[in-house]
Chain A
Amino acid sequence: MAKIIIPSPLRKFTDNLTTVATSGNTVQEAILDLATQYQGLRKHILDTEQNIRSFIRIYVGEEDINALDKEQTAVAEDTVISIVPAIAGGAY
């Protein structure tokens, strides 16, 4: 049950939960489980072919999954996955 940290812009799709427990043995399975639990989130994190969208980064601990085994990176019960989106605020 890896824990996924949900960033602010996506919390409207997770009933404002900041973390969601997911099942699965890889990052891909965990993200798919998240998208299944919260359908509204699906189109924002996955494209039509179920690939993770390019405007968000996925981290396991402090490592970008692209430096690990990408979507196939293994996750354990105590793994913390972060979804890191681009945010643009500052001047306002």
Chain B
Amino acid sequence: MLDNKELARYARHISIPEFGREGQEKLKKAKVLVVGSGGLGSPLLLYLAAAGVGHLGIVDFDVVDDSNLQRQVLFTVKDVGASKAETAKERLLALNPYVNITVYNTPITSDNALDIIKDYDVVADGTDNFPTRYLVNDASVLAGKVNVYASIFRFEGQVSVFNYLHEDGTRGPNYRDMFPEPPPPGLVPNCAEGGVLGVLPGIIGSMQAAEVIKVITGVGDPLVGRMFLIDVASFTTRTLKVLKTDVEIKELIDYQQFCGIGVEEPVKEVTVEELESLKNNGADFQLIDVREPHEFEAANLDGLLIPLGEIAKHHDKVAKDKQVIIHCRSGKRSATAIRELQDLYGFDNLYNLKGGILAYGELVKK
């Protein structure tokens, strides 16, 4: 039951005729699991806490980085280096002390997902990679929970409500009905390459919060069997129908493998120590940096800049007659570049810099 202070706090909700005290009571009784407390999770958690959702679970094992602050509005400069989930809890309790919060400062995996999800009514997916998205979807379906989905990339966002329980007991479509298979690794760029407009997760995460509140209270018409798309660059919006297919989810699987991650052929590598000694010995080799120009500008190892997306076009700039060391930020994009050059142009003299410029930075610190 809502006490007098809560009734006063939520007065603007309670005044909405179709929401009323009943809607607010439903929010108080609800348990919502938010997976990821970053770009989408920030506005989502802030609004769900402000709205008076009684119990929030936060899954995030990451720590706050200065580069998160461009969009992750839950955090401030003093939080850099601290646990996102713990910091989020503190911030949300300062906003609304009537909310109970459980923190899962751990990655969500096939081993723990069902155990975490089982205690919640609704799951809200604000993760940043395909394996976790499929995992959250499948676990939500197996546990019989609604999965309020949102995703962002550059200027574009997607929102939908998956696995919704209809009054007749049937379920609405889920993520696998829309996307039975993930794209191959490398097609959809990662965060450093792809980028995202800082305000976009604010818009999309707020929409996601609205859908969570609608699902809990039964107010309005949730985005079931439909996917909302927005491109804020052109301000075009579309709402597309999502068909239910006969896709069946029987158990949780190895999602890294499902998404083709870590199953690629290994590439030849050199360590940052080996690179240092090649340099010191005056060895004849070519160093190529496949990051984006803005990353190169921030810090570089004096390599030739050819961003991953242009590597095939500029294959003639890659030496064939000597050792070529290719690097990126962490070693992932450079491995993709090497595979592409090997597959398309038959190179056999390419080496990946293990750990990328990040590892080099660590070596320099030592």
A binding-site residues for B, Cβ under 8 Å: 7-9, 12, 18, 44, 54-57, 59, 62-64, 66-67, 82, 84-92
Contact = CB atoms under 8 A, between A and B. Distances in A.
Given A9-B187, A12-B309, A89 B241 contact: no
A87 B149 CA distance: 11
Choose among A63, A66, A90 the residue with the greatest number of B CB atoms under 10 Å from its CB: A90
Interface of B: 36-41, 60, 62, 68, 125-130, 133, 150-156, 158, 178-184, 187-189, 191, 194, 196, 201, 227, 229, 231, 233-234, 238-243, 309
Contacts of A55: 179-184
B39 A91 contact: yes
A88 B129 contact: yes
A92 B240 contact: no
B96 to A, nearest CB: 23
B292 to A, nearest CB: 12
Given A62-B241, A67-B243, A88-B127, 13 more contacts: A7-B156, A8-B231, A9-B183, A55-B183, A57-B179, A66-B243, A85-B188, A87-B156, A88-B133, A89-B39, A89-B151, A89-B194, A89-B196
Choose among B39, B125, B151, B183 the residue with the greatest number of A CB atoms under 10 Å from its CB: B183
A86 B38 contact: no
B334 to A, nearest CB: 18
Contact of A88 (B37, B130, B184, B241): B130
Nearest to B194: A89
A67 B184 CA distance: 25
Contacts of A86: 130, 133, 151, 178-179, 182-183, 188
Contacts of B36: 90-91
A71 to B, nearest CB: 15
Contacts of A66: 243
Contacts, number: 112
Contact of A90 (B150, B187, B233): B150
A89 B152 contact: yes
Given A55-B179, A89-B128, A8 B240 contact: no
Contacts of A84: 227, 229, 240
A89 B191 contact: yes
A62 to B, nearest CB: 5
Contact of B151 (A12, A44, A90): A90
A62 B227 CA distance: 10
A90 B156 contact: no
Contact of A57 (B41, B125, B178, B201): B178
Contacts of A67: 241, 243
A9 B243 CA distance: 23
B183 A59 contact: no
Contacts of B156: 7-8, 87
A62 B180 CA distance: 19
Nearest to A13: B309
B194 A82 contact: no
B189 to A, nearest CB: 7
Given A57-B179, A91-B126, A44 B39 contact: no
Given A9-B189, A64-B240, A87 B153 contact: yes
Contacts of B158: 87
Contacts of A90: 36, 38-41, 125-128, 150-152, 201
B159 to A, nearest CB: 11
B224 to A, nearest CB: 15
Contacts of B238: 62, 82
Contacts of B41: 90-91
Contacts of B38: 90-92
